[in-house]
Amino acid sequence: MLIRVMYVSQASGGITTTVTSSILETAKAHNAVNGITGVLCQGQDIFIQVLEGERKALNRLLARIFRDSRHKEIEIVLLQEIQDRMFPLWAMAHVNISLDEPMIKLNHPEFDPFTANGAQLYEILVDLLQQSSPIN
Ligand SMILES: Cc1cc2nc3c(=O)[nH]c(=O)nc-3n(C[C@H](O)[C@H](O)[C@H](O)COP(=O)(O)O)c2cc1C
């Protein structure tokens, strides 16, 4: 059974390149072995991550991510069973987002990751991904 989970969180300190590289390095190695795919977006000290995979493997990973002191205020905003993956090829892609980006302001003026509803936030993310070049 495949599920998709999306959460938002706040970086504990500033998000530095070192923090990001270290997260992505672990994520890629671990996710590839565990059949997990997804995307990590970050901007203005906020993380938005979508993870897809087998329910058991994903729950184990979430438990680890929740314990990670590099972020806080972690909120799951979407959890759904899925038939197909949205990100089948990415063990973990990475996108930098700016909440001041014209596309976000124009198409989603009300955008606030901590109050937007999950489906909305997921749509915004897919929009963003189409207009950016994720690194994977
Ligand atoms: C925002 C964020 C996203 C993360 N995403 C992943 C991920 O997709 N896969 C992964 O294995 N670890 C991810 N991590 C790292 C885990 O929290 C954890 O450090 C790592 O899995 C090693 O776990 P361990 O120290 O219990 O061995 C992420 C951490 C943060 C802060």
Q: List all residues 6 or more positions away from 62 whose beta carbon is below 8 Å from its beta carbon.
A: 5, 7, 51
Atom 27 of ligand 1, nearest CA residue: 64
Helix, strand, or coil here: 86? coil
Q: pTM for the full model?
A: 0.91
The torsion of the CA quartet 26, 31, 37, 43, rounded to 10 degrees, works out to -20
Q: What mean pLDDT comes out for the span 58-62?
A: 98
Question: So what's the pLDDT on residue 112?
Answer: 79
Q: Check residues 25 and 111 and name the one with the higher pLDDT.
A: 25
Question: So what's the pLDDT on residue 136?
Answer: 64
Q: What's the mean per-residue pLDDT of the chain? A: 88
Q: What mean pLDDT comes out for the span 83-106?
A: 81
- The rounded Å distance from CA 44 to ligand 1 centre is 20
Q: Please name which of 101, 91, 95, 85 lies closest in space to residue 135, comparing C-alpha atoms.
A: 95
Atom 1 of ligand 1, nearest CA residue: 47
- Among residues of the chain, what percentage have pLDDT more than 70? 89
Please report which helix (H) or strand (E) contains residue 37, including its range.
strand 37-43
The CB of 48 under 6 Å from ligand 1? The reply is: no
Rounded distance between C-alpha atoms, residue 76 and residue 48, angstroms: 10
Question: So what's the pLDDT on residue 6?
Answer: 96
Q: Residue 106: which pLDDT band, with cuts at 50, 70 and 90?
A: low
Rounded distance between C-alpha atoms, residue 123 and residue 111, angstroms: 11
Domains of the chain listed by start with CATH number: 2-131 (3.30.70.100)
How many angstroms from the chain centroid is the CA of residue 61? 13
Q: What mean pLDDT comes out for the span 44-58?
A: 94
